[in-house]
């Protein structure tokens, strides 16, 4: 096994170096726009070209020093591979593979949860969204603080005491175990795949932009690395990769935030004043508001600091908040982390540590996003990447001294490596959660009736990790040109609508039973998926064409009045005409001209449906056995009596 592991590591390392030395086909415009949920959809037709642009030739690109960047990537890969080799020697039982033997401390697990939660969408996407959509991006940052309060107060301790490795363990305690485990495994894999796709495509785009490596090759390389991490190191390797990644990410955020605030004398009031007074930001807001001509007396700079540039519908904000509030508590890869600690006290401590780390990082993300808007301008960020997802990387290069300088190249390479590690850590957690659901719930408890040998369990778990990793590679390649905004939103919506209701009822409602679990999982998940597929998250060409028509008609009216258009207005006019012709006859993926569901996040509808379906299903098919078993389960989840002890490490 060790020889195979080292051989795979050598092949990946040499392959990365060789590929980096050969220029690949030019990356498509937009770069890593698919990394993050919200940012990609920010004004697809309204955001035209930079206000300071010259004739629209080739789109500007983020330029890196390939030698420095590749060296930094190889250091990260080599370091994490060392962890895998160490962890593989200690992974001997199913408990070691799935939950690190329950021997992770609360403090360590808190850092690992932060590493699991702070994905590429968080680091690159929220920073990018704030840099091009203003304070609305902060809405995506404050949500996790609320959701971790929910986890801390409601489910952390009961889940640790009642479960073993997976969500299926919790749901099957007093229900028909085989049926419930099957549905739980399907839900786990579904949520993980949605989340996984965004990370895989993001990794491919990131490598494509930074190192000129072909997208498909990038996805394959990342997928193989993840297979090695999870297949050989299991939860212990995944945990330490996540801890290291969280440490690097926090350090990176602190350094960049201090450098930005130092430019304004560490004065927050001056910082926000510069945002409101920036002429570039004012021009950008005017474009976002679809004002081809400036409205006299309208304070566009102040508008950047007010909500509504991206989340225009207040109900949408409530729906998003509901998904945030309950979604993370139902994410399988987050829930799985509670099984890695020795007791409920450590589970609570891990949530508190994670909550403070994540909250602190999101404060820094806000500084980074606004700093990028001030010093790089939204126009430049949008020109390089429509979703703004290169903002953090461009900002690092700027803070280090600028493009072409040693300091700029070194800082950019470091931040790129941190972003890459972020993707590796999150994908490892997702693959492990899916692998555990299939191997532990399906193979061990459904096929083998819970009687599989430890050696067989570990072997099947590793094989399952290989299969899940290969599926992630295939789907990542297939989704290269797709707008996967809805997939990240969908992961939280499905978790909040399907998983969370049945977990809560299983732990705290005496009458809850098998019918309620199946009803809640199916209705909640299907409604969330269906609503997202007909929501504004999808691309509607005729809507893009209509927005473009408003722009060119306004500018042509000004032109017909004898007013000579400025250069940037001529560029906007030409692009609006092109967008209109390109999209006027198009339809969405489902053949729709416009969204049937008006909200970007379905939580406000799908979450109540999930709860309601679970209640109705339970009441229609009463189960006396489930009610009689509740007392024992209630004692266990509150005291921890009957659970396995932690392994010594």
pLDDT beyond 80 at 298: yes
pLDDT beyond 50 at 531: yes
pLDDT beyond 50 at 6: no
> How many CA atoms, within 13 angstroms, populate the side-chain half-sphere of residue 354?
35
* Structure-derived torsion over alpha carbons of residues 443, 447, 450, 452, reported in degrees to the nearest 10: -70
Alpha helices (H) along 289-385: 300-303, 314-327, 332-335, 344-375, 378-384
| C-alpha to C-alpha distance for 30 and 52, rounded to whole angstroms | 19
Highest mean pLDDT among 42-51, 296-305, 485-494, 638-647: 296-305
pLDDT beyond 80 at 12: no
| Average predicted confidence (pLDDT) for the chain | 81
User: Residue 516: which residues within 8 A CB-CB, separation 6 or more?
Assistant: 502, 505, 614, 615, 617, 618, 621
Would you give the distance in Å from CA 476 to the centre of its chain?
14
| C-alpha to C-alpha distance for 274 and 264, rounded to whole angstroms | 9
Specify the pLDDT at position 30.
33
Structural domains of the chain in order of their starting residue, each with its CATH number? 2-56+112-540+587-639 (1.20.1730.10)
Highest mean pLDDT among 38-52, 320-334, 496-510, 536-550: 496-510
| C-alpha to C-alpha distance for 20 and 80, rounded to whole angstroms | 20
- Quick check: helix, strand or coil at residue 646? coil
- Quick check: helix, strand or coil at residue 258? helix
Element spanning 237, H or E = helix 234-262
What confidence category does residue 5 fall into, taking pLDDT thresholds of 50, 70 and 90? very low
Q: pLDDT > 70: what percent of the chain? A: 86
Instruction: Please compute the mean of the pLDDT values over residues 403-432 and round it to a whole number.
Output: 86
Q: What is the pLDDT of residues 227-262, one digit of tens each?
A: 888 888 888 888 998 899 899 999 999 999 999 999
Closest C-alpha to 203, from 224, 184, 179: 224
Specify the pLDDT at position 233.
84
Q: Count the neighbouring beta carbons within 10 Å of the beta carbon of residue 150.
A: 19
| C-alpha to C-alpha distance for 367 and 395, rounded to whole angstroms | 11
Closest C-alpha to 381, from 25, 88, 59: 59
Specify the pLDDT at position 8.
42
User: Residue 494: which residues within 8 A CB-CB, separation 6 or more?
Assistant: 187, 190, 191, 194, 524, 525, 528, 529
What confidence category does residue 29 fall into, taking pLDDT thresholds of 50, 70 and 90? very low
Residue 481, Cβ density class (10 Å: 0-12 exposed, 13-18 middle, ≥19 buried): exposed
| C-alpha to C-alpha distance for 471 and 324, rounded to whole angstroms | 27
| C-alpha to C-alpha distance for 500 and 479, rounded to whole angstroms | 28
More confident residue, 615 or 646: 615
Alpha helices (H) along 63-155: 66-90, 94-99, 106-117, 120, 127-133, 136-150
- Angle, vertex CA 83, rays to CA 79 and CA 88, nearest 5: 145
| C-alpha to C-alpha distance for 281 and 279, rounded to whole angstroms | 5
Specify the pLDDT at position 19.
36
Specify the pLDDT at position 535.
85
Instruction: Please compute the mean of the pLDDT values over residues 29-52 and round it to a whole number.
Output: 34
DSSP, residue by residue, 166-178: SHHHHHTTTS-HH
User: Residue 335: which residues within 8 A CB-CB, separation 6 or more?
Assistant: 155, 159, 163, 167, 329, 503
Specify the pLDDT at position 144.
62
Instruction: Please compute the mean of the pLDDT values over residues 200-208 and round it to a whole number.
Output: 78
Instruction: Please compute the mean of the pLDDT values over residues 329-356 and round it to a whole number.
Output: 86
pLDDT beyond 60 at 451: yes
Instruction: Please compute the mean of the pLDDT values over residues 449-455 and round it to a whole number.
Output: 84
| C-alpha to C-alpha distance for 343 and 646, rounded to whole angstroms | 8
Instruction: Please compute the mean of the pLDDT values over residues 611-640 and round it to a whole number.
Output: 87
CA distances from 462 to 88, 270, 427, 443 (A): 11, 54, 16, 12
What confidence category does residue 525 fall into, taking pLDDT thresholds of 50, 70 and 90? very high
CB 213, CB 24: distance < 8 Å: yes
Handedness of CA 99, 509, 181, 472 (dihedral sign): negative
Specify the pLDDT at position 489.
67
Q: What is the pLDDT of residues 172-195, one digit of tens each?
A: 888 888 999 999 999 998 888 888
Specify the pLDDT at position 193.
83
- Quick check: helix, strand or coil at residue 197? helix
Specify the pLDDT at position 402.
86
Specify the pLDDT at position 486.
57
Specify the pLDDT at position 581.
87
Specify the pLDDT at position 41.
33
Specify the pLDDT at position 256.
94
Q: What is the pLDDT of residues 42-82, one digit of tens each?
A: 333 333 333 333 344 445 667 777 788 888 888 888 888 88
Instruction: Please compute the mean of the pLDDT values over residues 135-153 and round it to a whole number.
Output: 74
Q: pLDDT > 90: what percent of the chain? A: 21
Torsion-angle region of 56 (φ positive above 0: left; ψ -120 to 50: alpha; else: beta): beta
Specify the pLDDT at position 16.
38
Specify the pLDDT at position 484.
56
């Amino acid at each position: 096994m060790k020889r195979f592991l080292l051989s795979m590591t050598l092949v990946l390392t040499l392959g990365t170096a060789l590929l980096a030395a050969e220029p690949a086909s030019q990356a498509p415009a937009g770069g890593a726009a698919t990394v993050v949920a919200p940012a990609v959809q920010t004004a697809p037709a309204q955001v035209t070209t930079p206000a300071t642009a010259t004739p629209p030739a080739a789109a500007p690109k983020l330029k890196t020093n390939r030698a420095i960047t590749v060296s930094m990537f190889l250091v990260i890969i080599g370091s994490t591979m060392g962890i895998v080799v160490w962890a593989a020697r200690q992974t001997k039982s199913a408990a070691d593979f799935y939950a690190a033997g329950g021997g992770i401390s609360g403090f360590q697990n808190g850092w690992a949860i932060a590493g699991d939660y702070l994905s590429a969408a968080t680091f690159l996407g929220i920073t990018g969204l704030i840099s091009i959509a203003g304070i609305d991006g902060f809405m995506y940052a404050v949500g996790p603080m609320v959701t971790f309060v929910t986890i801390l107060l409601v489910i952390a301790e009961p889940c640790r005491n009642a479960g073993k490795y997976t969500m299926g363990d919790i749901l099957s305690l007093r229900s028909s175990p085989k049926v419930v485990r099957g549905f739980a495994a399907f839900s786990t894999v579904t949520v993980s795949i949605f989340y996984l796709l965004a990370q895989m495509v993001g990794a491919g785009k990131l490598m494509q932009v930074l190192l000129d490596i072909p997208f498909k090759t990038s996805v394959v390389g990342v997928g193989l690395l993840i297979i090695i991490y999870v297949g050989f190191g299991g939860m212990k390797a995944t945990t330490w990769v996540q801890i290291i990644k969280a440490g690097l990410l926090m350090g990176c955020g602190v350094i960049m935030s201090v450098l930005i605030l130092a430019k304004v004398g560490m004065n927050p009031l001056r910082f926000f004043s510069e945002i409101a007074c920036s002429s570039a930001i004012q021009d950008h807001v005017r474009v976002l508001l679809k004002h081809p001509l400036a409205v006299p007396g309208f304070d566009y700079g102040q508008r950047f600091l007010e909500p509504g540039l991206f989340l225009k519908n207040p109900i949408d904000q409530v729906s998003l908040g509901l998904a945030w509030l309950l979604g993370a508590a139902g994410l399988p890869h987050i829930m799985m982390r509670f099984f890695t600690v020795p007791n409920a006290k450590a589970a609570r401590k891990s949530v508190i540590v994670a909550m403070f780390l994540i909250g602190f990082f999101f404060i820094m993300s806000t500084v980074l996003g606004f700093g990028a808007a001030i010093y790089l301008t939204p126009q430049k960020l949008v020109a390089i990447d429509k979703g703004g997802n290169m903002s953090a990387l461009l900002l690092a290069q700027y803070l280090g001294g600028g493009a072409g300088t040693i300091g700029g190249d070194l800082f950019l390479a470091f931040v790129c490596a941190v972003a890459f590690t972020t993707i590796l850590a999150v994908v490892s957690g997702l693959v492990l959660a899916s692998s555990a659901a299939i191997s532990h719930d399906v193979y061990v408890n459904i096929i083998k009736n819970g009687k599989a040998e430890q050696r067989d369990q570990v072997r099947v778990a590793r094989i399952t990790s290989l299969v899940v990793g290969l599926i992630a590679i295939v789907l990542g390649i297939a989704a290269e040109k797709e707008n996967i905004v809805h997939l990240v939103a969908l992961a939280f919506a499905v978790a909040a609508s399907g998983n969370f209701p049945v977990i809560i009822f299983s732990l705290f409602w005496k009458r809850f039973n098998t019918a309620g679990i199946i009803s809640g999982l199916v209705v909640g998940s299907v409604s969330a998926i269906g609503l997202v597929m007909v929501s504004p998250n999808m691309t509607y060409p005729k809507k893009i064409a209509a927005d473009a028509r408003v722009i060119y008609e306004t500018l042509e009216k000004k032109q017909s009045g004898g007013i000579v258009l400025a250069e940037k207005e001529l560029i906007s006019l030409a692009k609006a005409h092109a967008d209109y012709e390109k999209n006027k006859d198009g339809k969405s993926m489902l053949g729709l001209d416009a969204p049937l569901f008006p909200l970007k996040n379905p939580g406000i509808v799908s979450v109540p449906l999930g709860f309601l379906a679970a209640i109705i299903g339970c009441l229609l098919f009463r189960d006396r056995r489930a009610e009689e078993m509740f007392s024992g389960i209630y004692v266990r989840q509150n005291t921890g009596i009957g659970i396995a002890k932690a392994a010594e490490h």
